[in-house]
Amino acid sequence: MNQLDQLKAHTIVVADTGNFKQMAQFAPRDATTNPSLILKAVQQADYAPLLTDTVAAHRGAALDEIVDQVLVRFGLEILKVVPGRVSTEVDARLSFDTAATVARARRLMALYEAAGIGRDRVLIKIASTWEGIQAAAELEREGIHCNLTLLFSFAQAVACGDAKVQLISPFVGRIYDWYKKQGGAQWDEAAMAGANDPGVKSVANIYNFYKKHGIATEVMGASFRNVGQIVALAGCDLLTISPDLLAQLQASETPLAAALRPRPSPPKRPWPMRRRRGRGSWPRGVWTPPGTLWA
C-alpha cells in the first residue's frame, strides 16, 4: 500500500490546489484554495476560460465582486471532484477589520448557496488575527463555518478554540523556514527533521492541547515543505497537501504509522484567551514557541 493510502487510514487528506483536474487522481476528501493558487490555475490554458467567462458574465461589477465570483466558480468545480468541503478565502486585506471580514464571508457563502451548495460543504478561510477570530466566532453562530489560516502560534490556536471555530490551519513550513533561517550555518537538517521539526512540534502541541481539553475545533496541518513533515503528523485530524507532495506520497511504499493520537479529555476546559488593551497579549513577531502564551 502506498503512503498516501496509508495516511488516509489515520488522517483526512485534503488537496491544497486550485487545479481540480489534477486533484482527482489523489481522491482527497476536501480541498483548500487561496488566491495565489487560483491565480496559478487561471494561468493554465485549461482554466483560463473560467476566468474570462466569469469576468464577461459580471462585466460592470466591482473588482472585488468579480474576484469573489471567480473564487466561488473554482470552488464549485472543486466540489464536483471532492465529496467533502472546499475552503474559499476572504480577501486578506480585510484581516484586521472584523465587520468587513464578516460581510465578505456572508457574500461568499451567499454565492455558494445561490448555486445550490449547502453550508456544510464550504469553509470560509480567514486569517487568524484577533479581528479575524472575532469575525469567525460571529459567523459560526450564524452557521457559516470557518477555516482559520495563517496560524503560527499556540496563542492563536487557544483563541480559535475559545471562539469555537470549525477548523484551524496551523502552518508547518513557515515555522520551519523561520527556525532554519535563524539557525543559519548551525542548522542541522537531519537533527531537526520529522518529530523534531519546529513546525511539526507546533502543530502536535496544538493538536494534543485540543484533544486533552475536549476542544471540538478541527486541526488541519498546512504549509508543508517535505514528506517527512507530513509523515510526522499522521493522525492529525486533517492535513492539506500540495499536489507535488501528494504525488510523492502516492509513489512511496514506505510503511507509515500514526504519529499523533487523541488523549483523554479532563473535566475542565482550558482558560479563555482574552485580548488586553491594544495587542499586548498577542504573539510577538512571526511565531511563539510551542506551549507559550504571551501574557
Q: Looking at residue 3, what DSSP letter applies? A: H
The answer as to CATH 3.30.360.10 being correct for domain 3-251 is no
Question: 125 catalytic, yes or no?
Answer: yes
**Packing angle between helix 98-114 and helix 130-141, nearest 10 degrees?**
40
Instruction: Tell me, letter by letter, the H, E, C secondary structure of 185-220.
Output: HHCCCCCCCHHHCHHHHHHHHHHHHHHHCCCCCEEE
Q: Give the model's pLDDT for residue 269.
A: 55
pLDDT digits (tens, 9 = 90+) for 49-105: 999 999 999 999 999 999 999 999 999 999 999 999 999 999 999 999 999 999 999
- Catalytic member of 8, 40, 80, 125: 125
Considering the entire predicted model, what is its pTM?
Answer: 0.91
Which pLDDT score is estimated for 118? 98
* Mean pLDDT score across all residues of the chain: 92
| Domain spans of the chain, in order of start | 3-251
- Residue 291: the pLDDT is 40
Q: Which residues of the chain have pLDDT under 70?
A: 264-295
